[in-house]
Every structure is written in structure tokens, then in C-alpha cells.
A and B are shown apart, each in its own frame.
Chain A
Amino acid sequence: MPLIDLANPTRFLTLASRALPWLTIATLAAFAVGIGLIASAPDDYQQGATVKIMFIHVPAAWLAMGCWSVMSIAALGTLVWRHPLADVAGKAAAPLGAAFTAMCLITGMLWGRPMWGTYWVWDGRLTSVLVLFLMYLGVLALWRTVEDPARAGRAAAVLTLVGAINLPIIKFSVDWWATLHQPASVLRLGGPAIHASLLTPLLVMALAFLLLFLTLHLAAMRNEIMRRRIRAMLVREAESAAQ
């Protein structure tokens, strides 16, 4: 199937219905393998067993930023190409991004307390991720405030592109400012600084989280297309009744 065919919402719905069962199976399989690897992973020589929090905290953090990146690409699709599926994709990704950001913040706090002696510090990394979470809530509020999906989509797209400035701030905050948070140890120029016995379960869990996002995003996009169809049908019904 040519990629352009996916631009048609009906074709997209057909593809989503076919792909969702397979994606669900792949997600569950990846989590099963990941949890098995976590159970057998060794403790860190400094952090002890608390290093196990890394296997959910880091993938959640990657997806927190990844969801906003997806929303930014969708925002370009909305504003530049006015693609019908672009704001559907952006709207469907926002609550997922908020959920992964909340997960990142909560697991980070629970990791910080035994390692740093505090749940929270107002440093560059933690504060910029909190700002990301608040921006997700802002986008969600915008979608709920403006009734017309087309207008809401354009407003959310502008806010999303403005908010994308925060992504490099989050990434480089540990290099730019003094912070309790450790610097990048996986996605860095010199290669990962983590031993393979901890890196392997981390990457498998990252794959599982990515598959979870793809599954939920596809399902949420399907729901949003159906919601817009229902809205169009209700408008049509009201027009017929008025004639």
C-alpha cells in the first residue's frame, strides 16, 4: 500500500484495525521479556537495587519527549499541509505524552529520595520536565476549550511548535546547569556508559514502551476519527431536521 493511501481516514481505520492486535501482542511480549531481564539484572555497585527504577524511568522520559516530537511533526502537518490526519495524530498523542511525563516525574522522585536524599530539587532537568508536563496539560485544555476541531487543531499546533523549544532545553539541561541529575549515559557521543547487563534490559524496556505508545496512539487516533465522524453525522442530522 503506498504511504499516501494512509492519508485517507477510512483506509487508516482499516489499517489500524489490522495492526492493533499484532501491536498488542508485540507490546505484551516485549514487556514479558523486559520484566524477565529486569528480574535477573544485577544491582548497581553504587545504587544497589534502586537501579531497577531506571528501567521504567528512562523509557518514560524518552517517550515524554518523543510524544512532543510526534506532536510537533503533526503540528507541521496541520499548519503547513492541512492534513486531515495530522491534528488527529497530535490530539491523540497529547494525553499519552502527559501520562509518560507524569510517570517520568513520579518514578524520578521515588528514585531521587533514596539516592539524593530528596524527592525534588528545582534544577534545570527536573524543572524543564515539569514545564513539559504543564505544556501537555495546556494542550489538552486547549483541545477541550475550543469546540471546533479545526480551530482547536490550529491553536494546539501553534502551542506545540512553541513548546518544542523545551525539548533541547530538557536534553542539554544537565550539561548547561549544575544539577543533581546525572548526565546522559545512553544517548551520548561516546556511546553508552552503562554495563551491558543493565543496558540490555533498559533497551528492551524502551522497545516495550515504544510499542505501548504505538499501540495506544493508533487506538486513540481511531477513537478520534470516529468522534469526528459522529460529530459530522450529528451536524448533518441537525441540518436535515432544520430543513
Chain B
Amino acid sequence: MNLGPHAFFIVGAYGAAAFIVAVVVGWVALDYRRQTRALAELEARGVTRRSDRPSGAPS
């Protein structure tokens, strides 16, 4: 593919777009891992949400 005399600008635009997408995908994936780990640690400590309590349990 011949990009002509303005190849620098075309490759630069696609490179910048790919970089931004990679950063956002990486941020979402890392955030998911962080939240999953924090949730697992809390559950391992026996901490539950109010909605997880068995019905009839004292408040």
C-alpha cells in the first residue's frame, strides 16, 4: 500500500488511535481485575452485603 508523501500523518493518526484504544482497554481490564480481587478479599473476610443476609437474620 502506497501512502504517498503524507505517510507520516496517516501512520501517526492510526498509531495514535491504536494507542488510545489500547490504553482504554487496558484500563478497563485492570480495573476489572482490581475490583474482582477486592471483592474476593472482602468475601474471604466474611463481609457480606445487606442483600446477602439470610431472611429473618437479626440486623
Contacts and interface: CB of A to CB of B under 8 A. Distances in A.
Interface in B1-55: 1-7, 9-10, 12-14, 16-17, 20-21, 23-25, 27-29, 31-32, 35-36, 38-39, 42, 45, 47-50
Interface in A77-109: 95-96, 99, 102-103, 106-107
A222 interface: yes
Interface of A: 39, 43, 48-50, 52-53, 56-57, 60, 95-96, 99, 102-103, 106-107, 110-111, 113-114, 212, 216, 219-220, 222-223, 226-227, 229-230, 232-234, 236-237
A223 B32 contact: yes
Q: Is the interface of A mostly helix, strand, loop or mixed?
A: helix
A151 to B, nearest CB: 21
A233 B31 CA distance: 18
Contact of B31 (A106, A107, A110, A223): A223
B28 A223 contact: yes
Contacts of B42: 230, 233-234, 237
A226 B16 contact: no
Interface of B: 1-7, 9-10, 12-14, 16-17, 20-21, 23-25, 27-29, 31-32, 35-36, 38-39, 42, 45, 47-50
A236 B42 CA distance: 11
B10 A49 contact: yes
Given A43-B4, A95-B27, A114 B9 contact: yes
Contacts of B45: 237
A49 B1 CA distance: 10
Contact of A226 (B1, B9, B27, B39): B39
A236 B3 contact: no
A150 to B, nearest CB: 16
A96 B24 contact: yes
A233 B4 contact: no
30 contacts: A39-B1, A48-B6, A49-B4, A50-B6, A52-B14, A53-B9, A53-B14, A56-B13, A56-B17, A57-B13, A99-B20, A99-B23, A99-B24, A103-B21, A110-B12, A110-B16, A113-B9, A216-B28, A219-B29, A219-B32, A223-B31, A226-B35, A226-B39, A229-B49, A230-B42, A233-B48, A234-B42, A236-B50, A237-B42, A237-B47
